[in-house]
């Protein structure tokens, strides 16, 4: 299985969330956790972010 890693600018672009909102949601267990890439670098698995987005779309459509 190939894993694509998204860095913070990519996650912000895909989700429309700010840095602080992403980290707040991670702390609350509402967003996929980042993975360590070594040193001070972190990233997110693309498929986890995509799954989170799909879940948000589904929740939004169900609420309408």
Q: What is the torsional sign of CA 50, 56, 57, 62?
A: positive
Q: Give the pLDDT of residue 38.
A: 95
* 43 DSSP β-pair partners: 35
Confidence label for 8 from pLDDT (cuts 50, 70 and 90)? very high
Domains and CATH numbers, the chain: 5-63 (1.10.238)
pTM of the entire predicted model? 0.90
In whole angstroms, what is the distance from residue 64 CA to residue 40 CA? 41
- 16-63 confidence digits (pLDDT tens): 999 999 999 999 999 999 999 999 999 999 999 999 999 999 999 997
- Number of other residues whose CB lies within 10 A of the CB of residue 53: 13
């Amino acid at each position: 299985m190939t894993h694509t890693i998204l860095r913070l600018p990519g996650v912000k672009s895909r989700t429309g969330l700010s840095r602080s909102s992403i980290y707040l949601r991670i702390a609350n267990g509402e967003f996929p956790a980042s993975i360590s890439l070594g040193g001070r670098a972190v990233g997110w698995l693309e498929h986890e972010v995509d799954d989170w987005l799909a879940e948000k779309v589904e929740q939004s459509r169900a609420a309408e």
